[in-house]
Amino acid sequence: MFSGGSAVAAQFVISAWRALLSALLVCLASGSVVAQTDANFPSKPIRWIVPFAPGSTDLLARVIGQKASETLGQPLVIETRPGAGGSIGTGYVAKSAADGYTLLMGTIATHGINSGLYAKLPYDAVTDFAPLCLLGFAPNVLLVHPSVEAKNVRELIALARRNPGMTYSSPGAGTSTHMAGELFQSMSDSKLTHVPYKGTSDAVLAVVRGDVQMVFSNLPPAMPLIKDGRVKALAVTTTGRVSLLPDLPTVSETGLNGYDVSVWFGAFAPAGLAPALVSRISNALMNAATDPVVSEKLIQQGFVVKILRPGEFSGFVRDEISKWTKVVRQAGIKAE
Protein backbone atom coordinates (compact mmCIF):
# COMPACT_ATOMS: atom_id res chain seq x y z
CA MET A 1 0.00 0.00 0.00
CA PHE A 2 1.09 3.57 -0.71
CA SER A 3 1.63 6.04 2.06
CA GLY A 4 -0.26 9.32 1.74
CA GLY A 5 2.67 11.14 0.08
CA SER A 6 3.48 8.24 -2.25
CA ALA A 7 -0.13 7.92 -3.35
CA VAL A 8 -0.29 11.60 -4.27
CA ALA A 9 2.97 11.33 -6.19
CA ALA A 10 1.76 8.26 -8.05
CA GLN A 11 -1.49 9.97 -8.96
CA PHE A 12 0.44 13.00 -10.26
CA VAL A 13 2.59 10.79 -12.50
CA ILE A 14 -0.46 8.99 -13.87
CA SER A 15 -2.21 12.31 -14.61
CA ALA A 16 0.88 13.65 -16.35
CA TRP A 17 1.15 10.58 -18.57
CA ARG A 18 -2.55 10.84 -19.44
CA ALA A 19 -2.10 14.51 -20.41
CA LEU A 20 0.96 13.70 -22.52
CA LEU A 21 -0.88 10.85 -24.26
CA SER A 22 -3.86 13.08 -24.92
CA ALA A 23 -1.64 15.79 -26.43
CA LEU A 24 0.11 13.21 -28.59
CA LEU A 25 -3.19 11.91 -29.92
CA VAL A 26 -4.29 15.46 -30.74
CA CYS A 27 -1.04 16.08 -32.65
CA LEU A 28 -1.42 12.84 -34.58
CA ALA A 29 -5.01 13.70 -35.41
CA SER A 30 -3.99 17.18 -36.53
CA GLY A 31 -1.28 15.70 -38.70
CA SER A 32 -3.84 13.43 -40.33
CA VAL A 33 -6.07 16.41 -41.05
CA VAL A 34 -3.17 18.36 -42.59
CA ALA A 35 -2.15 15.38 -44.71
CA GLN A 36 -5.73 14.94 -45.83
CA THR A 37 -6.04 18.64 -46.61
CA ASP A 38 -2.81 18.62 -48.65
CA ALA A 39 -3.94 15.55 -50.56
CA ASN A 40 -7.27 17.16 -51.42
CA PHE A 41 -5.80 20.51 -52.40
CA PRO A 42 -7.19 22.36 -54.22
CA SER A 43 -10.86 21.79 -53.48
CA LYS A 44 -11.98 25.24 -54.66
CA PRO A 45 -10.77 27.99 -57.04
CA ILE A 46 -7.45 29.69 -56.28
CA ARG A 47 -7.20 33.46 -56.45
CA TRP A 48 -4.07 34.87 -58.10
CA ILE A 49 -3.78 38.53 -57.13
CA VAL A 50 -2.22 40.92 -59.64
CA PRO A 51 -1.39 44.14 -57.74
CA PHE A 52 -1.53 46.35 -60.84
CA ALA A 53 -4.13 47.53 -63.33
CA PRO A 54 -4.51 45.33 -66.44
CA GLY A 55 -1.29 45.23 -68.44
CA SER A 56 1.71 42.95 -68.87
CA THR A 57 1.52 41.47 -65.34
CA ASP A 58 -2.14 40.64 -65.81
CA LEU A 59 -1.48 39.18 -69.26
CA LEU A 60 1.28 36.88 -68.05
CA ALA A 61 -0.82 35.62 -65.12
CA ARG A 62 -3.79 34.81 -67.37
CA VAL A 63 -1.75 32.88 -69.93
CA ILE A 64 0.11 30.81 -67.32
CA GLY A 65 -2.87 30.53 -64.99
CA GLN A 66 -5.09 29.00 -67.64
CA LYS A 67 -2.64 26.16 -68.24
CA ALA A 68 -1.84 25.66 -64.55
CA SER A 69 -5.56 25.33 -63.83
CA GLU A 70 -5.61 22.17 -65.92
CA THR A 71 -2.91 20.60 -63.73
CA LEU A 72 -4.38 21.71 -60.42
CA GLY A 73 -7.94 20.75 -61.31
CA GLN A 74 -9.35 24.09 -60.14
CA PRO A 75 -9.48 27.52 -61.81
CA LEU A 76 -6.82 30.12 -61.07
CA VAL A 77 -8.95 33.24 -60.91
CA ILE A 78 -6.95 36.36 -61.78
CA GLU A 79 -7.95 39.30 -59.61
CA THR A 80 -6.46 42.79 -60.01
CA ARG A 81 -5.98 44.95 -56.90
CA PRO A 82 -3.97 47.97 -58.12
CA GLY A 83 -2.69 50.96 -56.19
CA ALA A 84 0.35 52.49 -54.49
CA GLY A 85 2.88 50.95 -56.87
CA GLY A 86 1.53 47.46 -56.25
CA SER A 87 1.62 47.80 -52.46
CA ILE A 88 -2.13 47.51 -51.89
CA GLY A 89 -2.59 44.14 -53.58
CA THR A 90 0.73 42.84 -52.25
CA GLY A 91 -0.19 43.83 -48.69
CA TYR A 92 -3.54 42.10 -49.10
CA VAL A 93 -1.88 38.81 -49.97
CA ALA A 94 0.62 39.18 -47.12
CA LYS A 95 -2.28 39.25 -44.66
CA SER A 96 -4.19 36.38 -46.30
CA ALA A 97 -4.38 32.84 -44.94
CA ALA A 98 -1.42 30.62 -45.83
CA ASP A 99 -3.63 27.89 -47.24
CA GLY A 100 -2.68 28.02 -50.92
CA TYR A 101 -5.90 29.65 -52.05
CA THR A 102 -4.50 33.18 -52.35
CA LEU A 103 -1.38 33.81 -54.45
CA LEU A 104 0.44 36.92 -55.64
CA MET A 105 2.01 37.76 -58.97
CA GLY A 106 4.96 39.75 -57.64
CA THR A 107 7.31 41.84 -59.73
CA ILE A 108 10.48 43.91 -59.69
CA ALA A 109 8.36 46.67 -58.11
CA THR A 110 6.65 44.76 -55.30
CA HIS A 111 9.69 42.68 -54.31
CA GLY A 112 12.57 44.87 -55.43
CA ILE A 113 11.99 48.58 -55.79
CA ASN A 114 9.30 49.24 -53.18
CA SER A 115 11.41 48.16 -50.23
CA GLY A 116 13.76 51.08 -50.82
CA LEU A 117 11.17 53.50 -52.19
CA TYR A 118 8.60 53.56 -49.39
CA ALA A 119 9.39 54.47 -45.79
CA LYS A 120 6.52 52.25 -44.68
CA LEU A 121 4.92 49.32 -46.52
CA PRO A 122 1.94 47.15 -45.52
CA TYR A 123 4.19 44.11 -45.93
CA ASP A 124 7.75 42.86 -45.62
CA ALA A 125 8.94 41.57 -48.98
CA VAL A 126 11.01 38.82 -47.35
CA THR A 127 9.34 37.68 -44.13
CA ASP A 128 5.69 37.95 -45.21
CA PHE A 129 5.94 35.70 -48.27
CA ALA A 130 6.82 32.21 -49.41
CA PRO A 131 8.52 32.59 -52.84
CA LEU A 132 7.12 29.99 -55.25
CA CYS A 133 8.96 30.57 -58.53
CA LEU A 134 10.33 33.11 -60.96
CA LEU A 135 8.37 32.84 -64.21
CA GLY A 136 9.92 35.27 -66.64
CA PHE A 137 11.02 38.70 -67.77
CA ALA A 138 9.69 41.40 -70.06
CA PRO A 139 11.83 44.15 -71.55
CA ASN A 140 10.74 47.76 -71.45
CA VAL A 141 10.72 49.70 -74.69
CA LEU A 142 11.27 53.43 -75.10
CA LEU A 143 8.31 54.88 -77.00
CA VAL A 144 7.75 58.44 -78.15
CA HIS A 145 4.83 60.21 -79.80
CA PRO A 146 5.24 60.39 -83.61
CA SER A 147 5.59 64.18 -83.37
CA VAL A 148 8.79 63.92 -81.31
CA GLU A 149 11.69 64.88 -83.59
CA ALA A 150 14.07 62.08 -82.67
CA LYS A 151 14.84 58.96 -84.66
CA ASN A 152 17.07 57.33 -82.06
CA VAL A 153 18.25 57.60 -78.47
CA ARG A 154 21.13 59.95 -79.22
CA GLU A 155 18.81 62.41 -80.94
CA LEU A 156 16.31 62.09 -78.06
CA ILE A 157 19.01 62.89 -75.51
CA ALA A 158 20.06 65.95 -77.48
CA LEU A 159 16.43 67.06 -77.76
CA ALA A 160 15.84 66.56 -74.03
CA ARG A 161 18.91 68.60 -73.14
CA ARG A 162 17.70 71.46 -75.36
CA ASN A 163 14.18 71.23 -73.93
CA PRO A 164 14.30 70.63 -70.16
CA GLY A 165 11.05 69.25 -68.79
CA MET A 166 10.11 66.86 -71.60
CA THR A 167 7.39 64.62 -70.21
CA TYR A 168 7.31 60.87 -69.73
CA SER A 169 4.49 58.78 -68.30
CA SER A 170 4.44 55.73 -66.04
CA PRO A 171 1.89 53.59 -64.16
CA GLY A 172 2.98 55.29 -60.93
CA ALA A 173 5.88 56.12 -58.66
CA GLY A 174 8.33 53.30 -58.14
CA THR A 175 7.19 51.18 -61.08
CA SER A 176 9.84 49.82 -63.40
CA THR A 177 8.85 52.33 -66.07
CA HIS A 178 9.27 55.21 -63.63
CA MET A 179 12.66 53.86 -62.57
CA ALA A 180 13.63 53.49 -66.24
CA GLY A 181 12.89 57.17 -66.79
CA GLU A 182 14.77 58.26 -63.67
CA LEU A 183 17.80 56.22 -64.66
CA PHE A 184 17.61 57.59 -68.22
CA GLN A 185 17.67 61.23 -67.16
CA SER A 186 20.38 60.57 -64.58
CA MET A 187 22.67 58.87 -67.08
CA SER A 188 21.89 61.30 -69.93
CA ASP A 189 22.29 64.46 -67.84
CA SER A 190 18.86 65.65 -68.91
CA LYS A 191 15.82 66.89 -67.01
CA LEU A 192 12.54 65.06 -67.62
CA THR A 193 9.13 65.57 -66.01
CA HIS A 194 7.48 62.43 -64.64
CA VAL A 195 3.70 62.16 -65.16
CA PRO A 196 2.21 59.19 -63.24
CA TYR A 197 -0.98 57.42 -64.34
CA LYS A 198 -3.08 54.70 -62.72
CA GLY A 199 -1.94 51.84 -64.93
CA THR A 200 0.24 50.71 -67.81
CA SER A 201 -2.49 51.07 -70.42
CA ASP A 202 -3.27 54.64 -69.35
CA ALA A 203 0.42 55.56 -69.35
CA VAL A 204 0.95 54.23 -72.89
CA LEU A 205 -2.26 55.73 -74.25
CA ALA A 206 -1.15 59.10 -72.91
CA VAL A 207 1.72 58.95 -75.42
CA VAL A 208 -0.60 57.81 -78.20
CA ARG A 209 -2.82 60.84 -77.55
CA GLY A 210 0.17 63.18 -77.30
CA ASP A 211 -0.57 64.14 -73.70
CA VAL A 212 3.04 63.24 -72.85
CA GLN A 213 6.03 62.80 -75.10
CA MET A 214 7.51 59.47 -74.08
CA VAL A 215 7.12 56.34 -71.99
CA PHE A 216 9.31 53.38 -71.03
CA SER A 217 6.58 50.80 -71.50
CA ASN A 218 6.58 47.07 -70.91
CA LEU A 219 6.90 45.53 -74.36
CA PRO A 220 3.81 43.23 -74.42
CA PRO A 221 1.09 45.94 -74.30
CA ALA A 222 3.13 48.17 -76.60
CA MET A 223 3.52 45.70 -79.47
CA PRO A 224 0.17 46.40 -81.21
CA LEU A 225 0.79 50.16 -81.06
CA ILE A 226 4.29 49.79 -82.48
CA LYS A 227 3.03 47.63 -85.34
CA ASP A 228 0.25 50.13 -86.12
CA GLY A 229 2.67 53.06 -86.12
CA ARG A 230 0.73 54.89 -83.41
CA VAL A 231 3.97 55.35 -81.46
CA LYS A 232 7.66 55.36 -82.40
CA ALA A 233 9.85 52.75 -80.73
CA LEU A 234 13.41 54.01 -80.27
CA ALA A 235 15.06 51.27 -78.20
CA VAL A 236 14.60 48.43 -75.68
CA THR A 237 15.92 48.84 -72.14
CA THR A 238 17.59 45.43 -71.76
CA THR A 239 21.27 44.71 -72.41
CA GLY A 240 20.45 42.66 -75.52
CA ARG A 241 17.99 43.00 -78.38
CA VAL A 242 14.71 41.08 -78.29
CA SER A 243 13.56 38.48 -80.80
CA LEU A 244 10.24 40.20 -81.54
CA LEU A 245 11.98 43.41 -82.61
CA PRO A 246 15.42 42.29 -83.80
CA ASP A 247 16.10 45.55 -85.66
CA LEU A 248 15.35 47.72 -82.63
CA PRO A 249 18.58 48.59 -80.79
CA THR A 250 19.08 48.80 -77.04
CA VAL A 251 19.36 52.06 -75.13
CA SER A 252 22.86 50.97 -74.13
CA GLU A 253 24.15 50.59 -77.67
CA THR A 254 22.61 53.81 -78.99
CA GLY A 255 23.48 56.46 -76.44
CA LEU A 256 23.73 55.31 -72.82
CA ASN A 257 26.34 52.60 -72.39
CA GLY A 258 25.47 50.26 -69.50
CA TYR A 259 21.81 51.23 -69.28
CA ASP A 260 19.72 48.20 -68.23
CA VAL A 261 16.22 47.90 -66.77
CA SER A 262 14.65 44.44 -66.96
CA VAL A 263 11.24 43.61 -65.53
CA TRP A 264 10.69 40.25 -63.83
CA PHE A 265 7.58 38.39 -62.69
CA GLY A 266 7.21 35.66 -60.07
CA ALA A 267 4.64 33.90 -57.92
CA PHE A 268 4.40 34.19 -54.13
CA ALA A 269 2.17 32.83 -51.38
CA PRO A 270 1.69 34.15 -47.84
CA ALA A 271 4.46 33.09 -45.45
CA GLY A 272 3.86 29.83 -43.64
CA LEU A 273 2.49 27.87 -46.60
CA ALA A 274 3.06 24.15 -46.05
CA PRO A 275 6.09 22.81 -47.99
CA ALA A 276 3.90 20.25 -49.75
CA LEU A 277 1.69 23.04 -51.11
CA VAL A 278 4.69 25.18 -52.07
CA SER A 279 5.94 22.26 -54.13
CA ARG A 280 2.60 21.46 -55.72
CA ILE A 281 1.70 25.02 -56.68
CA SER A 282 5.17 26.01 -57.87
CA ASN A 283 5.47 22.88 -60.02
CA ALA A 284 2.08 23.56 -61.61
CA LEU A 285 3.07 27.14 -62.45
CA MET A 286 6.56 26.27 -63.73
CA ASN A 287 5.26 23.41 -65.87
CA ALA A 288 2.61 25.72 -67.31
CA ALA A 289 5.13 28.45 -68.17
CA THR A 290 7.49 26.01 -69.90
CA ASP A 291 4.76 24.18 -71.82
CA PRO A 292 5.75 24.57 -75.50
CA VAL A 293 2.43 26.10 -76.54
CA VAL A 294 2.28 28.47 -73.59
CA SER A 295 5.96 29.40 -73.87
CA GLU A 296 5.61 30.28 -77.55
CA LYS A 297 2.52 32.35 -76.82
CA LEU A 298 4.41 34.29 -74.15
CA ILE A 299 7.37 34.86 -76.46
CA GLN A 300 5.04 36.26 -79.12
CA GLN A 301 3.65 38.65 -76.51
CA GLY A 302 7.13 39.93 -75.69
CA PHE A 303 8.01 37.86 -72.62
CA VAL A 304 11.13 35.83 -71.94
CA VAL A 305 10.38 32.68 -69.96
CA LYS A 306 12.88 32.22 -67.12
CA ILE A 307 12.33 29.74 -64.28
CA LEU A 308 13.78 29.78 -60.78
CA ARG A 309 12.60 27.26 -58.19
CA PRO A 310 11.54 28.32 -54.67
CA GLY A 311 15.00 28.23 -53.06
CA GLU A 312 16.72 29.99 -55.96
CA PHE A 313 13.92 32.51 -56.25
CA SER A 314 14.22 33.39 -52.56
CA GLY A 315 17.88 34.34 -53.00
CA PHE A 316 17.07 36.23 -56.20
CA VAL A 317 14.48 38.36 -54.37
CA ARG A 318 16.92 39.28 -51.62
CA ASP A 319 19.47 40.35 -54.23
CA GLU A 320 16.88 42.47 -56.06
CA ILE A 321 15.88 44.27 -52.86
CA SER A 322 19.51 45.09 -52.15
CA LYS A 323 20.16 46.26 -55.71
CA TRP A 324 17.15 48.54 -56.08
CA THR A 325 17.31 49.97 -52.57
CA LYS A 326 20.79 51.19 -53.43
CA VAL A 327 19.64 52.66 -56.77
CA VAL A 328 16.67 54.44 -55.19
CA ARG A 329 18.77 56.00 -52.45
CA GLN A 330 21.58 57.07 -54.75
CA ALA A 331 19.08 58.72 -57.12
CA GLY A 332 17.15 60.33 -54.26
CA ILE A 333 13.83 59.04 -55.62
CA LYS A 334 10.81 59.63 -53.38
CA ALA A 335 7.44 57.89 -53.45
CA GLU A 336 4.72 60.25 -54.73
114, 181: one domain: no
DSSP letter at 249 equals P
In this structure, the strands spanning 129-144 and 232-236 are antiparallel
Identify the pLDDT of residue 336.
58
132, 160: one domain: no
65, 149: one domain: no
- Predicted structure pTM score: 0.73
129, 270: one domain: yes
174, 243: one domain: yes
155, 207: one domain: yes
Q: How would you label 79-100 residue by residue, b for 16+ Cβ within 10 Å and e otherwise?
A: bbbbbbbbbebbbbbbebebbb
What's the CA gap between 2 and 297, in Å, rounded? 81
Beta-carbon contacts of residue 179 (< 8 Å; ≥ 6 apart): 113, 261, 324, 327, 328, 333
217, 270: one domain: no
Identify the pLDDT of residue 27.
40
Which residue, 232, 254, 276, sits at the end of a domain?
254
Beta strands in 171-211 (DSSP E): 192-196
Identify the pLDDT of residue 83.
86
What's the CA gap between 218 and 140, in Å, rounded? 4
Q: Block means of pLDDT (10 residues each) for the chain, length 336 residues?
A: 44 45 41 51 97 88 97 97 91 98 96 91 97 93 96 96 95 82 90 90 94 92 90 92 90 91 93 97 98 94 91 96 84 71
Q: With H, G, I as helix, E, B as strand and everything else as coil, classify residue 136.
A: strand
Identify the pLDDT of residue 48.
98
Q: Indicate whether 40 belongs to any domain.
A: no
248, 155: one domain: yes
88, 162: one domain: no
Q: Which domain holds residue 210?
A: 139-254
Q: Indicate whether 294 belongs to any domain.
A: yes
Please report, as a single letter, which amino acid is at residue 48: W
In this structure, the strands spanning 46-50 and 76-80 are parallel
The CATH number that applies at residue 200 is 3.40.190.10
242, 159: one domain: yes
CA–CA distance from 121 to each of 76, 86, 124, 148 (Å)?
Answer: 27, 10, 7, 38
Total domains, the chain = 2
The CATH number that applies at residue 120 is 3.40.190.150
Identify the pLDDT of residue 161.
96
226, 238: one domain: yes
Q: Indicate whether 190 belongs to any domain.
A: yes
Q: Indicate whether 22 belongs to any domain.
A: no
Q: Indicate whether 18 belongs to any domain.
A: no
